[in-house]
Amino acid sequence: MACVLRRQSSDDGTVDSYTGYIDVGARHLFFYFFESRSDPAKDDVILWTNGGPGASSSIGLFMEQGPCRVVDANTTKFHPESWNSRANMFFIDQPVGVGWSYAEFGEHVGTTEDAAHDIAAFIAVFFEHFNKFKGRAFHMAGESYGRRYIPVYAAAVYDQNKELVKKGLTPINLNSIMIGNGWTDFYTLILSYYYMACTPATIPPVLDIKTCIRMKQMTLRCEETLKESSIDTFDHFSCGAATSFCRSTSTSLAPIHENSSVLNHGMQSNFSGQSWAVRVDFEANLDAYRQTYHYVSNLLDRGVRVLVYVGMNDFTCNHVGNEKWTTNLEWSGGDEFRNQPLKDWYVNGKTAGRVRSYDGLAFVTLDGAGHLVPYDKPVKSLELVSCWMAGRDI
């Protein structure tokens, strides 16, 4: 394993920043790293990844919570609500084949579980190289398809700690995971579309009565088909047919893509905001339909905190489905969590959304935000993350 870096001042001129590759065998994972604007010697460390599958995390860097926002093709501007205002933060292009990351000899990964080995190794090398951050509280965050990545990757990091200790290395201080507008459980989210479109879950119903009745009938059929083909058993052919049926009877998925062009400054791979090759590989393996919430349960029971936050105006990865899977979650604090009421939470004295929390799990909604919460509501999202890292009540 190796680390190749370029150090410079960030575009906002306030912190040290780095770009580079960490090599895991013949796989080369690219990252951007920005030290904290507040106290880099003491502040927590956050990993961020976007979703897709196949989307570059530069969408998060340049559109959402990075230190600068893009103005035009040649200009950026200071972003005061960047998450690196309160934390040391790095953005990773993953899996290999996404963004600037690449692999030699035709190597590739086709599932999140396959990619988890690379990410765990990447993180171990990262903290060995940036050794002043060793032992610092570490948070793994992502949105959209990142809901699939983050719990699986965090589990790999947690399990890897035993091997690090055996080798005399410092274990990773995995404090929490943060999932924004996540597609964590396909089976609850796909069934939630009826409630988003035909009930006043967020706004008044948007479809006519005839369509809603038909949608309800098909939703019940979809639920039965999914249970038989994808939950009780996971038959590749039958599950693929069932999920295709359910998607066609509710709505087509709307993945977020980054379409901006980026100049190649001597990088070893051609940049694309969305890797369709990676997406095709993951879809061929039905990665989106593999159940992820078991990883979340196991992390919670091992003391890793979990924040699930959702913009209220997102249809695809909506608050109805995300609330349902969090309340259905089986873990040691599950009963107590389900019994907690949804309460208002506030930013600068104004209602920001609602929250349900118990012990290490928090479900939070943000009013007025869509799929990209840090883009839509930068002040609220920074306050939310700051409270979460500090362990304060939201």
371 catalytic, yes or no? yes
294 is catalytic: no
Marked catalytic residue, from 314, 319, 357, 381: 314
Within the chain, residue ranges assigned H as helices are: 58-59, 112-129, 146-166, 186-198, 209-226, 236-250, 276-284, 293-300, 319-328, 334-339, 373-376, 378-390
Give φ, ψ of 203 to 5 degrees: -130, 170
Cβ atoms of 304 and 272 closer than 8 Å: no
Exactly one of 36, 101, 144, 275 is catalytic; name it: 144
Q: Is the dihedral of CA 4, 100, 82, 90 positive or negative?
A: negative
* Residue partners of 230: CB distance under 8 A and separation at least 6: 187, 238, 239, 242, 243, 289
Between helix 112-129 and helix 146-166 the angle, nearest 10°, is: 50
Is 79 in contact with 66 (CB distance < 8 Å)? yes
Indicate if 28 belongs to the active site. Answer: no
| Number of Cβ atoms within 10 Å of the Cβ of 332 | 12
| 3-class DSSP assignment, residue 81 | coil
Query: Taking Cα atoms as reference points, which of 110, 126, 97 lies closest to residue 27?
Result: 97
Residues taking part in catalysis: 144, 314, 371
